[in-house]
Amino acid sequence: MSLTVLTSAYRLRSVFRLQRIQSHMMSSHADPEVLLEKVGRAGVITMNRPKVLNALNFTMIRQIYPQLKKWEKDNETDIVIIKGAGGKAFCAGGDIRAVTEAGKAGDSLAQDFFREEYILNNTIGAYRKPYIALIDGITMGGGVGLSVHGRFRVATEKTLFAMPETAIGLFPDVGGGYFLPRLQGKLGLFLALTGFRLKGRDVQRAGLATHFVESKKIPDLEKELVDMKSPSAEDVSRVLDSYQKQSSLDSEKPFVLDRHMSDIDRLFSASSVEGIMQNLKADGSEFAKKQAEILSKMSPMSMKITYKQLQAGAALSLPDVLVMEYRLSQACMRGCDFYEGVRAVLVDKGHNPKWNPSTLEEVSDHSVDQCFSSLGEKDLTF
C-alpha cells in the first residue's frame, strides 16, 4: 500500500474519530448530566444520567454545590427539591469506577472527588432552607449522601436503599458514620456491614426517610411544593404529611426486619467484628446463618474500618464525621481492596474478589488505626 493511501486512510480515520468525539460532546451537551432549574420560588435539581441510574460524577458535584450555595443566599428561592430522572433511580451511587481508574493512574480525582462530595454532603446537612429529596427509586451510596442529610426525604414504593460499600472494599461513607449509628439499636451497624437492602415504606420505618408517598402522587406533590408562597419548614412538613396520609400502600405490612430487630441488637452488639461473626455462627438460626454467609464475602479490612467508623461517629458531629471519612477514603485509595472490589463486582461482575488480608484475624488493629490517622495539611476542611 502506498504512503499516500496510508496517509489518506489515517486522515480519514482521524476525521471519523474527531466526528465521534464531537458527536459525543454534542450529545453530552444536548443532555446535561444535572438540570438546575428555578420553578416558581423553588430551586429544582434533577440528576439526569438515567442510563447509569443517575450515578453521581465529579462534574455533577461541581455543578450542584455552587448552585446550592447561590440558592441559599437568594431571597427569591424558598426551598430546594432534588430528584432523579428516568423513573428507576434517584441516584444509585458515586461514579467509583472513574475514581479507581484515577487512583491507579495517580490522578488527583482520587482526592478531589471525595473531598468535594463530602463538602457537598455537609452543605446539605447544614442547609438553611427546606431541602426536599424525592428518593423515588434506587438510592445507594452517593445518592444517600445527597438525600439523607437533608431536612425532608420522601420515599415511595419504588425506593431501594442500601449502603453496599463493604462488598467493594470501601466503607459506608458520605456521612454514614453519622446517620447509621443514630438509627434504632444496632440497625445502622447491621445495614453498614451487610449492605442489606431496604425497600419502599421500610426506608421510612428505619428512620432514613421522613415521609412515604406513593410514586404516582409525586408529580402532584412536587407541583404543590413549587407553588407554595414563601413556605416555612413547617409549611413544607404539613404538605408532605397530607400526601403521606393519602398513601396507604403497604401500610398493613410490618417492617421487614421487625421480627429480627432483637436478634440484630443482640448479635451485633459484640465489641469487634470477629465477635459479631462468632455470635452469628453460634446462634444457629436461619437469619444468623444468612448474615454470617453474607459477611464472609465482604472485605475483612472494610468491615473492621466500618465497625470503628460507626463507633466513633456516634459521638461526632456531621462535619467531624466527614473529616474522619475523608481520611478513610484516602486510606482505601492507598490500599488494594477497593480496586479489587470494584474489579470483581463492577467491572468483571464475577463477584469473587480476592481480599488482602483475606481473613478478619489477619487485619491488625494497628493497620485499622492507621486508616484513621490525620492527613495533616491534606485533611478535609470546611
> Any idea which residues carry the catalytic annotation?
94, 142, 165, 173
| Grid cell of 265 as nine digits | 441488637
Other Cβ atoms less than 10 A from the Cβ of 381: the count is 10
Cα angle value 51/54/57 (rounded, 5°)? 115
- The alpha carbon torsion through 334, 338, 343, 344 (nearest 10 deg) reads 140
Cα angle value 13/97/368 (rounded, 5°)? 150
Determine the Cα–Cα distance for residues 80 and 266; give it in Å rounded to an integer: 40
Determine the Cα–Cα distance for residues 151 and 149; give it in Å rounded to an integer: 7
Determine the Cα–Cα distance for residues 298 and 194; give it in Å rounded to an integer: 8
Determine the Cα–Cα distance for residues 274 and 263; give it in Å rounded to an integer: 17
- Cβ neighbors of 24 (< 8 A, separation 6 or more) are none
> Among 163, 157, 109, 118, which Cα is nearest to 136's?
157
| Grid cell of 171 as nine digits | 466503607
Q: Is the separation of the CB atoms in 354 and 340 below 8 Å?
A: yes
Q: Which amino acid is at 106?
A: G
Q: What is the DSSP secondary structure assignment for residue 250, as one 8-state letter?
A: T
Determine the Cα–Cα distance for residues 267 and 292; give it in Å rounded to an integer: 11
> Among 84, 90, 169, 207, which Cα is nearest to 356's?
169
| Grid cell of 23 as nine digits | 458527536
